[in-house]
Every structure is written in C-alpha cells, then in structure tokens.
Copies of this chain bind each other. A is one copy, B any other.
C-alpha cells in the first residue's frame, strides 16, 4: 500500500469531521484501522481489528461505515481478482491512483503508479466527456517470480 509520509494519523478522521460527518467511537476505531493498514483489508478483517480498539463495534457498522467512506471518496473498493471468496478489499484513497496486479499463482498483489494510467483517465474525461469519481484497474496474471 502506498503510505505517503504526508499521511498523518487521524487525518482521515478530521477530513470527515470537516465535511460534517459525525464522529463516534466506532467510526474512530474503523477509520484508524483503515488508516494504519499495512495491506488491503476486507470487511471482516476490519471488523476484527476495530473490535480490538472498541469491542462494541458491530459488523453492520463496519459495512455502513465502508459505504460512507466510499460515498465520500475516502476509500477505494477492490476485488483483487476474487482469488478466494467473493469478498471485497478496501484501501485509503491517496492523492494519486494506482493499479493492482494480482498473481494468480502465488497470490501476490503488486501496486503500480503510471503516468499512462493518468493519461488514460484524462482521455476519458476529455473524449468521452465522462466525469471520473473512481477508477479501478485490476490485472490478473503471473508475477515476475512466477512466470515460468
């Protein structure tokens, strides 16, 4: 996960507060889990981790909060090729988008930023007159280590 040094803990929280989103103990727990995540987390991992900070957090609150964060464009939702199960993964949306490569042999997820990706998005905005809110590029195949 790209963890820019500029990302201050609690940043996500204040960003939402400023937007008029009400802060509760449960939300603070969930937000801090997402902010400090070292990898892509699914809803049930988020729940488990959040419960360690606030035991009252419920599954439905996690889902409702993920919905909220998506609406506010604060997180992205990923399939990561649904390599096992159908669950979705979440990550903090940072300044610049990145794409995800999932190795279908070893399961490794690699992230990559690319100017071409930015150019492609600009092309859609311009040529298709489409106003982009989310752009999700996921690639499946074999990573450098696994290809033959």
- A: residues with CB less than 8 A from B are 77, 79, 81-82, 86, 99, 101, 103-104, 110, 112, 114, 116-117, 119-121, 123-124, 128-144, 147
Contact = CB atoms under 8 A, between A and B. Distances in A.
Contact of A142 (B103, B133, B138): B133
Given A101-B130, A116-B119, A137 B136 contact: yes
A110 B139 contact: no
A133 B128 contact: no
A77 B79 CA distance: 11
Contacts of A120: 114, 116-117, 120, 137
Contacts of A81: 134
A129 B112 contact: no
